[in-house]
Chains A and B, each alone.
Chain A
């Protein structure tokens, strides 16, 4: 079983996202470990990109803060290296295709493999373009996570059939960010996915409260929370550990 599958094996999974290097690389290492202790089943580490077109304001600003702080693709791998000295929590990297392309696919995925990064999420890599990295990622045992959006409709089955790791079900139109209400027919989307695959589904975009998390977990195998976590880090900076622990614990309890 891949480590990502493992994250879904016990109960519903809680997937936590944070932007690497916001506010510092050391903080990122600590926050990952803190979130694992609080019950996060899988951690998504964002490699910041200068122009994150699928991101709302919260993650955009975190990305810029991290880049201004001097974070690079290389230093994100160093963060992973530090985490791996202390933890075997399943890890996925989230970034845009250009930093990966520029690092070199072979070098990037080989590095992921040797550091125990289990998956990668690339919002600007749709099904049509996945040949770009598919083979080399597979060769190094890294799952390239597929995203399915409210507009995917007749594309859902085709995408789901070939999905690896888990399926990222995008709950809402637009970009990442906290939403008061999610109006998409998530149950319908998951039903379409289930018709062709048993790859786990996790729902992301807009989820911030335990109530939303509980509701979304009812439709799928897990929930993904990003902006709400990044907001806490924005607010508490280098002292966000306790707040993160409290928040993640409450979210994990809600999805169980």
Chain B
């Protein structure tokens, strides 16, 4: 036993398992189960069927011709994760983890959610697998996203408004961890991003890596060459990690993560972890976090509830430090403009999260060569954001 009891799940200096002892046995059990099933052909076949027959994969790689012409430089392709069942990339990870949970004999799924995308995806998988489901959501967010709360309830989940701390996403993660520590035997915590203690960053990345596996094959088929850049938004970083993963080895491909700068990186109202944070240890991992001078986790802000998280996954921290990926801040204003631009130019209402990635494409595409190709990951659809964007523009619309 001793030999195995060393730090696992490292990306350079980042990652690890900084978690109470109560959860360690279960994390080890989860890792062992995952290592077994990821090589099990039946498991992989079942997951493939779920992806293709239920979630609607493979997702399209769409040539955004009007956007390309308008920006006047690199050819732009949209990876359409917004077309997945439940409307975002979140379903990829959730189906994988729910299937794993079923194989492990679990009958109950719990999860945190910010805007509700991950909660809805988890509730969906629980309904499909006939499992119990409880979702933890900051009280503040349950008010802002009342429609998603009802959606989760419609799918059979129980939604717990989290009243501790800042009553937002990080507190929802805290509360889900506390719940898991009180009941592990029949329950899997379906973590929603490439964060938390090992093995979650690895498991979530692997399930999300279907995005880059498909995108790489699709672009080679359409263009016969690799893209010059892959661009994705980053909160915890699961859609970006999925979009980057199979391109990491292709050194010619620039990997660009777009963080939520909120009102700007020089203000306190930001969630840009790489731009404004520093190294710390929180939520089970060593990585970059927004924190104060005493290591207290800072409240963060973004118009996008999905990017409103004070940390970033440890593999991103590593890709940042090694220079393999670049991380850039994008403000609320820029994201809202990109949200509207994408709707008008391509007829695609993308999630406000994804609009952060498109905003950066707007900045760089024009100065790139016509031979260059950019793949931008449209991580989700924007129906959930329409009312908020209207309010941002001064129209008082409520769902």
Contacts and interface: CB of A to CB of B under 8 A. Distances in A.
A150 B26 CA distance: 12
B178 A175 contact: yes
A158 interface: yes
Interface string B259-297: 000000000000000000000111110000101011111
B154 to A, nearest CB: 30
Interface in A80-120: 96-103
A99 B294 contact: yes
Contact of A101 (B20, B24, B281): B281
Given A51-B174, A173-B181, A175-B181, A149 B294 contact: no
A163 to B, nearest CB: 12
Interface stretch (B5-13, B33-41, B78-86): B5-13
Contacts of B171: 51
Contact of B19 (A99, A124, A154): A124
Given A129-B18, A154-B1, A174-B181, A73 B281 contact: no
A230 B8 CA distance: 36
Given A50-B296, A53-B178, A102-B294, A173 B183 contact: yes
A39 interface: no
B399 interface: no
Interface in A124-179: 124-129, 131, 147-155, 158-159, 170, 173-175
A49 B181 contact: no
B18 A124 contact: yes
A86 to B, nearest CB: 26
B10 to A, nearest CB: 11
Interface string A53-79: 110110010001001000011100000
30 contacts: A52-B174, A53-B20, A53-B177, A57-B164, A60-B164, A73-B294, A73-B295, A96-B282, A98-B295, A99-B295, A101-B281, A102-B280, A102-B293, A123-B20, A124-B284, A126-B17, A126-B21, A126-B24, A128-B5, A128-B7, A149-B21, A151-B22, A151-B25, A152-B24, A153-B25, A155-B1, A170-B21, A173-B183, A173-B184, A174-B181
A103 B177 contact: no
A158 B5 contact: yes
Interface residues of chain B: helix, strand, loop or mixed (majority): mixed
A127 B21 contact: yes
A50 B291 CA distance: 10
Contacts of B19: 124, 126
Contacts of A173: 22, 181-184
A129 B16 contact: yes
Nearest to B9: A128
Interface string A175-190: 1000000000000000
B182 A175 contact: yes
Contact of A67 (B1, B16, B296): B296
Contacts of B2: 158
A147 B23 CA distance: 12
**Among A125, A151, A158, A173: residue with most chain B CB under 10 A:** A151
Contacts of B5: 127-128, 155, 158
Interface of A: 49-54, 56-57, 60, 64, 67, 72-74, 96-103, 123-129, 131, 147-155, 158-159, 170, 173-175
B105 interface: no
Interface in B170-214: 170-171, 174, 177-178, 181-184
B13 to A, nearest CB: 11
Nearest to A148: B21
B291 A98 contact: yes
B178 A174 contact: yes
A174 B18 CA distance: 16
Given A152-B24, A170-B21, A173-B182, 8 more contacts: A54-B22, A73-B294, A128-B8, A128-B16, A128-B17, A129-B18, A149-B24, A174-B22
Contacts of A175: 178, 181-182
A97 B21 contact: no
B22 A129 contact: no
B165 interface: yes
A103 B17 contact: no
Nearest to B179: A174
Interface in B134-172: 164-165, 170-171
Contacts of A53: 20, 174, 177-178, 283
A129 B6 CA distance: 7
Contacts of B20: 53-54, 123-124, 126, 147, 149
Contacts of B282: 51, 96, 98
